[in-house]
Structure 1
Amino acid sequence: MQKDPLLSGESKNIEYKVQVPEHSEKYIKTVVAFANGDGGQIVFGVEDETLKIVGIDPDLVFGVMDSIANAVSDHCEPKIIPDLSIRNIDGKCLIVLNVFPGTMRPYYLRSKGILRGTYIRIGSTTRPAEPYMVKDLILEGENRYFDKEICRELIVNEEDINQLCAQMKEVALRNTWNEHEKAQIRPLTRNHLLSWGILKEEGDQIVATNAFGLLTGRLPEQPVIQCAVFKGNTRAYFIDRREFAGSIQEQIEAAYQYVLLKINVGMKVNGIYREDVYELPTQSIRELIANAVVHRSYNDPGKIQIALYDDRLEVTSPGMLLNGISIQKMKEGYTKLRNPAIAEACAYMKIIEKWGSGIPRLFQECKEYGLPEPELIDFEGDFRVNMYRNNPLLMGREQYIDPTQVNGNPTQASGNPTQASGNSTQASGNSTQDSGNPTQANGKRQLNAGETAVLNILRDNPSLSQKRIAERLNWKVDRVKYYLNTLKRKKAVERVGSSQKGFWKINERAEEGEKD
């Protein structure tokens, strides 16, 4: 016999009371929490631990319902209209109090006031809302957004505005590989920033919002991203940790490059070349970090944390899921913007793609990689995504670079997150090695990580200068020169024309030419 959903156990949306408490505040707190969240039900007449049905005296049930309705109406602010019904299960009478998601948040106990009387639901418990949660509820209830609020501490002029517009376009170009799409990236103007809510008009003045501060790194108490590598599968032992500051777009790129530096890299054959393959889908890594920045609560003083364990990559973003958002909806591509101005800016800069597409694509890419299904967790006021490592389809350990070892010594990341101190990375066994001579493996030309990165850019735009290549990779020009020289020695590329007006020719059939 199928179990009645009403008796499925306490959860985020169900609570049980064996009887109606004498002090109504004991259950009114939960009414408030349900109204501040996705709604819920309080079932009177059921023991919470055993789910034993005790029931309510049928002769008293209507009087009890009246007292519940009066208590809810009298103690809640704004007023909550309860929906009460009677259920008969196993011959016993239960009272079900249905609370719907409120539209005038925050709801609170009138006797305690908004700061002390606001409650939220976390898991199967009702808890007082933290001050930053109350701020989030106020903004949501008034259909306002943190990133669009005016930042009084920031004074902006036309030069500041033009500089941000130019920087955002530069990021957009750097994140676009197709020349046709590059040509369609429009220059930004003050009017674009006004329409997105990054700037606002106040009388005859242009003022900055919190979004402007976040995008320039000038917000008072500008948030940062914390990254760390741990030994094993818990946070007991650090191997390495970093904290990235600056504008949010700089933080996203720095954190992304840090993860790439720390995860394993393998090889696959592409034509006559062997190219690097990361153990995790790189586009999904970037998307997870970007989503954490775009969707986090900026009222929450916590920091985005990116933790790499032996078995998983863990990305934690401060702030509960918005009301109306569930994990199942996220898997289906549904999204609700907490910071729409930041989302518009990141979409323009090609940091995120279509809104809501990141989570479905994450699941699809992990499936294509042969990885376990990612895990989405809503807990304790934060949201976390786990992407699991140890790819069974790609991970031949003898083919993988150990990112924690360089020439036998632990790698220490330099100030530039795309570089490691010491010499070029060497793989254990017969894997990649930077040398002046072409390396052959099973008759195929072998390229290392740096060479592959440069070659991929040249495939899309062979006329790029060394300086522009360096800008795209966030490298120094000397590093680009080094890898171009090794590619030339391996006869993978050659320069056609002058240094100013020429281009790089990719020799895909270099090996066949050598045999001739």
Structure 2
Amino acid sequence: MWTQEEIDALLAPLRHADSDDQRVEVKEAAGGLPASLPKTVSAFSNGNGGTIVLGISERHDFSPADGFDAKTIASAMAQMCRDKLMPPIRPTIEVATYCGSPVVIAAIDELDPLDKPCYVRNRGRYSGSFIRVWDGDRKLSQYEIDRLLENRGQPTYDKEVIDEATVDDLMPDVLHAMLRLCREQRPRIFSGLSDDAALRALGVTGPGADGCIRPTLAGLLVAGNYPQQFFPRLNITFTRYQGYSKVFAGGVKYIDNRTLDGPIPEIIEEALLAVRRNMRIGGVLDGPLRKDSYEYPEEAVREAVVNAVMHRDYSPLARGGQIQVNMYTDRLEVLSPGGLYGAVTADTIGSPGTTSTRNQTLAKLLELTPFRGGTIAENRGTGFELIASSLRENGNGEPQISSTLTAFRVTFRSSDTSTLPDSRRDPRYAGWQHHNGTDYSASRGLDHGGMPRPAHPIVVPFPRSEIVSEDITGQEMYDRFIKGTPWLEEAYARYMGLTPGQPHGGAIVPTVRDEGAAETTNVVRGSIPLTFSDSTSSDDDDRSPLEQALLNLIGEHGAMATPQLVEATGAPRSTVTYQLRKLLATGVIERTQPARSPKQSYRLKTA
């Protein structure tokens, strides 16, 4: 039974605002049950629930209404919820006393996701479904209703066969890597299947409307050379805003803005690089040593972006919306189309045993898609727990979650980079970082702290006439061989955590390769491993540095696959693929396998 004090506490915020609010609706109901009440019950049921108080006059400072018949109204309320709503609603209805007068209080619980949407019967599902917005009831859109209905079954939009695409739009090397891992993990099932049969079983391909085998949406997203050719907005945008919102009084809307296209592995990599370039770096002391501390932990950022790609809404009505990674002065936000799916809510996300996958085929493929020496996803339901623990350790506090029917948002608060724990130092971020022209870190070389050398060198072609001295300064080496070549600047930044063109202050120790000469390598702690290969042939004059580097690598190893070339050069995968196609077209190299083979590699073409 409601007490006077509890009702006072319920009405106090309404008196202060002189209005109803998101969770409480007040009606006089002196002349009978209000006609608008079914909409309010629908709105509360489709949202987070709410409370309806009848017999209170908002016009008279939320005091008891004159002429209110509590018994009749309570009975009418119960009948209305039973007869006028679908599915029928069974609220908890009580008659209480407030300031000496009877009132009716009905508690409306949120419906189970499988029962939504609740709608007014005589208006139909698409005209009679409502949601609570502040103090009013707003009609749900068709898209929002479709998302609610989606929870009643398993969406299959990611399995849709894309009739405009062909298997030639898929990258053979990625398919080969996925199939190899799949056969290693599940030999009983996949060892006896052909490549084509295995790809169909995995959901990478399927029969199109014309009977031909074509990529699925999931297959195109993970292994397509350019999925945005068919779906321009299934990508990621990154924006670094100047202030605390998208509207900045100083006139500068943003200081970095990028549209990231390509298959999922590439756009995730580019998103992480964009965040890395724009985050602030501070320093902490661990005894005599200075260590770096970072505004946002990369493992949390990666997990948030992967989750957005994996769980976003891929239904036709949502394909016009992209994933957004927005960085402000005080926070980082990752937004994706479509709210949480299934039984997962903003309150239960991250709880043990609470998981639900909207895009099952895509999620399965991401377990097999190569990324940074592993795969993109594990799908063990531990992603949000990893995000939360990483942020707490890094000094960012708890992640903030917002989920509506149309969008999901996770927000990371900026950490105080001057007080981050020492364990947050990551040698991949060595270098100088700037924010709005301010250096947030002390000048530091690249030869401190035992920074490990990257596993693979960046291959840089140079003419025989150039002399590479062991005591050449890092800046001289950068200016002579890297600066001005976009793919080399990008590779350098990826290894060192720098913005292309920034000074680094460290020593670059080269590995020199030349025909007829032994390879010489100087290993210095903190050095940047660059392999310089001779490229003096007159036939090479019109080739780009990357083309020549690819030829040098292929010639040295006899044959190399695309992933090996990407790893060895450090260039973006799409750039390597483009250069390989140019070399194929000019007849300099040839394939070792049929064009569509996932085992494809390349060798120098012999006369």
Q: TM-score range by the shorter chain?
A: 0.5 to 0.7
1:341 maps to 2:361: yes
Residue 241 of structure 1 is matched in structure 2 by: 257
Residue type of the alignment partner of 2:80: A
Assess if the C-alpha contact under 8 Å between 2:237 and 2:258 holds in 1: yes
Structure 1 residues 461-511: Cα deviation after superposition (integer angstroms, max 9, x where no partner) = xx9x9986652488239x99xxxxxxxxxxxxxxxxxxxxxxxxxxxxxxx
Describe the SS at the equivalent of 2:348: helix
Aligned mates of 1:332, 1:380 — CA distance in 2: 21
Structure 1 residues 95, 280: closer, same or farther in 2, change over 3 A? closer
Assess if the C-alpha contact under 8 Å between 1:288 and 1:315 holds in 2: yes
1:366-377 → structure 2 map (5 Å cutoff):
366-377=391-402
Assess if the C-alpha contact under 8 Å between 2:208 and 2:214 holds in 1: yes
Residue 317 of structure 1 is matched in structure 2 by: 336
1:39-438 → structure 2 map (5 Å cutoff):
39-46=49-56, 52=62, 54=64, 60-76=69-85, 78-88=86-96, 90=98, 92-101=102-111, 103-122=114-133, 125-141=136-152, 143-148=153-158, 150-151=160-161, 154=163, 159=167, 163=170, 167=174, 170=177, 184=185, 209-215=216-222, 216=224, 217=227, 219-220=230-231, 222-235=233-246, 236=248, 237-264=253-280, 278-298=294-314, 299-300=317-318, 301-322=320-341, 324-333=343-352, 334-349=354-369, 350-378=375-403, 381-387=406-412, 388-394=414-420, 401-403=432-434, 424-426=501-503, 432-436=505-509
Describe the SS at the equivalent of 1:94: strand
Aligned mates of 1:128, 1:97 — CA distance in 2: 21
Q: Which moved more, 1:324-333 or 1:46-55?
A: 46-55
Describe the SS at the equivalent of 2:364: helix
Structure 1 residues 122-157: Cα deviation after superposition (integer angstroms, max 9, x where no partner) = 56653222332122123223x131534635x52566
Structure 1 residues 185, 160: closer, same or farther in 2, change over 3 A? farther
Shift of 1:93: 3.2
Assess if the C-alpha contact under 8 Å between 1:156 and 1:208 holds in 2: yes
Please give the root-mean-square deviation of Cα atoms over the aligned residues, in Å. 5.1
Assess if the C-alpha contact under 8 Å between 1:16 and 1:48 holds in 2: no
Aligned mates of 1:17, 1:293 — CA distance in 2: 42
Aligned mates of 1:394, 1:466 — CA distance in 2: 42
Shift of 1:243: 0.7
Describe the SS at the equivalent of 2:347: helix
Structure 1 residues 271-304: Cα deviation after superposition (integer angstroms, max 9, x where no partner) = xx99976543211111111111222223434321
Aligned length: 441
Shift of 1:4: 4.1
Aligned mates of 1:263, 1:18 — CA distance in 2: 51
Structure 1 residues 56, 244: closer, same or farther in 2, change over 3 A? farther
Structure 1 residues 3, 168: closer, same or farther in 2, change over 3 A? farther
Aligned mates of 2:24, 2:241 — CA distance in 1: 38
Aligned mates of 1:286, 1:53 — CA distance in 2: 53
TM-score relative to the length of structure 1: 0.67
Residue 475 of structure 1 is matched in structure 2 by: 570
Shift of 1:362: 1.3
Aligned mates of 2:325, 2:485 — CA distance in 1: 16
Unaligned segments of structure 1, at least 5 residues: 439-443, 452-462, 481-516
Instruction: From 4, 7, 10, give the equivalent of 1:7.
Output: 10
Structure 1 residues 123, 327: closer, same or farther in 2, change over 3 A? farther
Describe the SS at the equivalent of 1:127: strand
Aligned mates of 1:276, 1:227 — CA distance in 2: 24
Assess if the C-alpha contact under 8 Å between 2:57 and 2:65 holds in 1: no
Structure 1 residues 256, 164: closer, same or farther in 2, change over 3 A? same
Shift of 1:95: 3.0
Structure 1 residues 214, 15: closer, same or farther in 2, change over 3 A? farther
Identity %: 22
Describe the SS at the equivalent of 1:384: strand
Shift of 1:99: 4.4
Residue type of the alignment partner of 1:82: R
Assess if the C-alpha contact under 8 Å between 1:122 and 1:380 holds in 2: no
Aligned mates of 2:525, 2:285 — CA distance in 1: 9
Describe the SS at the equivalent of 1:286: helix
Residue type of the alignment partner of 1:342: L
Shift of 1:242: 0.6
Describe the SS at the equivalent of 2:332: strand
Structure 1 residues 446, 44: closer, same or farther in 2, change over 3 A? same
